[in-house]
Amino acid sequence: MTITTGLNIDLFLLVFLRVTGMMLFNPIFGRTSVPAILKVGFSLLTAFLIVPTLHGVQVQMSGPVNFIVAGLLEFSIGFGIGVLVNQMFGIVAIAGEYIDMQLGLSMAQIYDPSMGASMPVVGSFYNLVLLLVFFAGNAHLSLFAMLADSFHVVAPGAAGITPGAAQFVVNMGGDMLEMGLRMAIPIIAVELICVVAIGLIMRAVPSINIFAFGIQIQAIVGIVVLLVAVPVTVSMCNGLVTFLLEKVAAFIRLLA
């Protein structure tokens, strides 16, 4: 059968499934603290706003089985976008893990009820900064604009995630580790200098029991550097948000 945009509920459902895939599988809109009914309602509203923009788009269906398959493919596209957003927040979590190990805080974890998981102390701080930067820069609006544009690149029911797009998402895992390490390197470098300085003090004045307060010195120095480097952290988070939007745009192009 032929489904004409704006005239059939089937097309609306396909759009809704793509939006829902993105809404459920990202750490911003898919937080466990957000009620499920609110997520579904917001997805319905977003789909309702997107459908009228798809002028002249037609979806060819030959039966309910094909419609179910098309629905799953649409959901997979939204899921892929959600995973990319998730990976962006994974970068700051990895950076936090690296820094916590240097500060001697690797055993300290903060339970984040909105995420439903425990996070490292510094990772929680970076996560909050990234979240503030994300919304302050209207990146959430850009993300939804890209989602709406994706329906013009890949019409509803036309295709799902291609092998190239799937490989693109997988490759982001390596980028997460690299960018997380790059984000943590300044603090790691300062802590390394601090350890070397402590070693030199022990060498120069053997009578000082540096082990009694060496760990405390490292933690204090690290925390001071974190506070002083807040502007740099904000700048790096801005770079991460820009990186995310570029990756989402590239992912959508690979779907065509």
Task: Using DSSP bridges, classify how beta strands 58-60 and 117-120 pair: parallel, antiparallel or unpaired.
Answer: unpaired
**How many structural domains compose the chain?**
1
Contacts of 48 (CB under 8 A, 6+ apart): 12
| Boundaries of domain holding 163 | 2-255
Q: Which amino acid is at 115?
A: M
- Host H or E run for residue 3: strand 2-4
- For 130, 134, 143, 187, the CA distances from 93, given in Å and listed in that order, are 11, 16, 21, 15
Report the chain's C-alpha Rg in angstroms.
23
- Host H or E run for residue 157: none
| pLDDT (tens place) for every residue of the chain, 256 residues total | 444 444 467 788 888 999 998 888 877 777 777 778 888 888 899 988 888 888 766 666 677 788 888 888 889 888 888 888 888 888 888 888 888 887 777 666 776 665 666 777 888 888 889 989 999 989 888 998 998 888 888 888 777 677 888 888 888 877 888 888 888 888 888 888 888 887 787 777 777 776 667 777 777 888 888 888 889 889 989 999 998 899 999 888 888 7
Give the separation between CA 71 and CA 73, rounded to whole angstroms: 5
- Which 3 state secondary structure label does DSSP give 43? helix
- Host H or E run for residue 162: none
Give the separation between CA 8 and CA 12, rounded to whole angstroms: 7
- Reported pTM: 0.80
